[in-house]
Each structure stands twice: as structure tokens, then as C-alpha cells.
Amino acid sequence: MKVLIVGGGGREHAIALKIKENPEVTALYAAPGNGGIAQIATCLPFKATDVDGIVRWAAENKVAPDDPLCLGMVDALAEQGIPAFGPRKNAAIIEGSKVFSKNLMKKYGIPTAAYETFDDYDAAVKYLQTADMPIVVKADGLALGKGVLICPDRDSAVEAVASMMKEAKFGASGARVVIEEFLTGPEVSAGVHRRQNGQADGVQHGSQARA
């Protein structure tokens, strides 16, 4: 069995290490991978967001991530009959939009930090004038893990909002922001793996820090 891992972070390295232990795996690839992954797998010259390139390579080589998932990587692979572990594009929005995920948790009573969402800079700054500090400012969209800023005081919070909404530090991902209460405590990540009709489906992990 050939396996391709899409991504190049520590999470993908951990996944690669475990997959490498499976005796049924005859070849392990990563796109783009990293220095650590390169020691146990073949790294390919594709960005994780190059959906067309990765799908084309997977189809040619008969093998079965955040940005690639939100761009429809799993959907595109499925269309070629290539099994993929991960959520489809319409489910990956839970990871791809913090506004969507926070509203989803609120709708279904899932515990989460108190929050407000904004698509207007002035409204966000006005809210910060009376909000408790420290506070957390999050870019709505994907930002390579850099879109969450913990702000100890009002000035740094306003600066964080300005960097996202006015200076476009994270491009379109920062056009909307989530401003939420600061929580302390351990963070727990969970992954779900199920089998349906003989096929393995992956559901994107979730993380939550609770006081």
C-alpha cells in the first residue's frame, strides 16, 4: 500500500512516523514534507495547496491536510477514485472559518470561550474599549497557524485587529475576526476515524483549551 501525506508540519511528521510502522505500507510520500519527514519518506515538490498537482501525481502513482482540505483536496481525490483520510470541503469549513466554527458551537450548545465576530474594523475597536483583558484576537480564515494573537492589554488588541483588518497581514483570512475571552488550562486535541462501507473516513481534529 502506498500512502501520501499532505502537509509539512509537526502533525504530519507524527502521522508519518506511525504510518511507517504499518507493515502493509510499501511506500510513504509527503507533499511537501519537511526535514524530519524526509528521513522516513519521500518528499515531493508540491505545495500543500497544489490540489491539481497532488491529485495528478496521486492518480499517476496510484496512491491514496488545513489548507488542502479547505480547498477540496479530499473531494478531488475521491473523484479520481483515490481514498483519502480527511474531511471533504464542506466539512473542512469547521477548520477553515473560525466564525463558522464558533457560531456552530454556540448553536448546538458546545462549550467554548465567549466571543464576538466582526467584519468592520471600527466596530471591533469599539468593542475592545470595554472588553476584559487579556483577550484573544483570531483571523477568521487559515493563516498557517499564525492567525491567533493573545493580547495582554487594549493597545496590543487594537494593534492585532488593525494588522488583520486594515493591514491585511493574513490577506482575506483576516477580513473578519473573532474576538474571544482568554482561557487558561490544558489543551486537548481529538481525532475521529470511522469506517463506512469499507472505506476509512477522517474527520479533522479539534482543539480546545479550557480553564
Per-residue pLDDT, 116: 97
Nearest C-alpha neighbor of 169 from the set 149, 147, 198: 147
As a whole-number percent, the residues of the chain with pLDDT over 90 amount to 58
CA pair distance 149, 136, nearest whole angstrom: 6
What is the DSSP track for 65-122? Answer: --HHHHTTHHHHHHHTT----S--HHHHHHHH-HHHHHHHHHHTT-----EEEES-HH
Pairing of strands 27-32, 2-7: parallel
CA pair distance 82, 84, nearest whole angstrom: 6
Per-residue pLDDT, 125: 98
Per-residue pLDDT, 188: 80
CA pair distance 146, 163, nearest whole angstrom: 12
Place of cell 488593525: 162
Q: What is the pLDDT of residues 16-53, one digit of tens each?
A: 999 999 998 899 999 999 999 999 999 999 998 898 89
Per-residue pLDDT, 34: 96
Decide if pLDDT at 119 tops 80.
Answer: yes
This prediction's pTM: 0.67
Q: What's the grid cell of residue 21?
A: 510502522
SS3 for 143? Answer: coil
Decide if pLDDT at 163 tops 70.
Answer: yes
Nearest C-alpha neighbor of 75 from the set 99, 53, 100, 92: 92
Strand partners of residue 6:
31
Q: Starting at the earlier edge strand, list the strands of the sheet with 177-181.
A: 115-118, 177-181, 135-139, 148-151
